[in-house]
Amino acid sequence: MEVNQIKAIGNFLATYQNELHYVSNFQLYKQGDIDVEKYTDQYNYSFYNFLIEFRIVRNFEKGSVAQLLKLTTDWIRQSPQNKVDDFANFLKSDKLSHGKVLTSLASKILFLNDPWIIHPMDRLVRNSLKQKTNSYSDYELLLKQYKSNKVQEIDDCLKIVVPLAIIIEKDFNVVLKNLPTIRYNRLVDKMLWTQA
């Protein structure tokens, strides 16, 4: 096992529970179990705190968290949910993103909605994949290739991570289905982070 794999495992274990809390709360919000006012307030694992922790909040004007959540909710209800590039352009057209196409931001928000499919894209993972564009569709292609090339390394990390992750996941089984897929995706993300 290489040092980068060990770092990825450590990073995964340090952040996995928080990430599951954020995803779980978003799913509860979508089901109507958390109201908008509470979810956009600053408390542990709220949408507002997610924007801070995932370094998204700096892209918007102060006080626009509720507006961003409403736009996200409307998008998820009306549009193809996994079209990150389209969502980034939608946010740009709404002028919420100061006229910029914020693909990284769009991917992080849609990750909350569908962590089984969406991998958050940021500068570190793009650097690891040697991606020059800001396109999520380009990222998906490179990510698929990376997973295919790193099957053994990913499996080696999973052998260590799975018994520990299962302990973390026991509190999320009711709200989140198919936790092994989320676990796998989050581990791959951490592997890319450590290679940047």
pLDDT: which is higher, 173 or 99 = 173
pLDDT at 184: 97
pLDDT in tens, 123-153: 889 989 999 998 999 999 999 999 999 999 9
Q: What are the two backbone dihedrals, phi and then psi, of residue 87, each rounded to the nearest 5 degrees?
A: -65, -40
pLDDT at 28: 93
Q: Can you tell me the distance from the alpha carbon of 166 to that of 30, in angstroms, rounded to the nearest whole number? A: 25
pLDDT at 96: 67
DSSP tag of 41: S
pLDDT at 66: 84
Q: Can you tell me the distance from the alpha carbon of 179 to that of 169, in angstroms, rounded to the nearest whole number? A: 7
pLDDT in tens, 140-188: 999 999 999 999 999 999 999 999 999 999 999 888 999 999 999 999 9
CA 122, 123, 126, 128 dihedral sign is negative
pLDDT band at 21 (very low <50, low <70, confident <90, very high): very high
Q: How far apart are the first and last CA of the chain?
A: 18
pLDDT in tens, 64-88: 788 889 989 988 988 766 799 998 8
Number of residues that make up the chain: 196
Are the beta carbons of 47 and 64 closer than 8 angstroms?
no
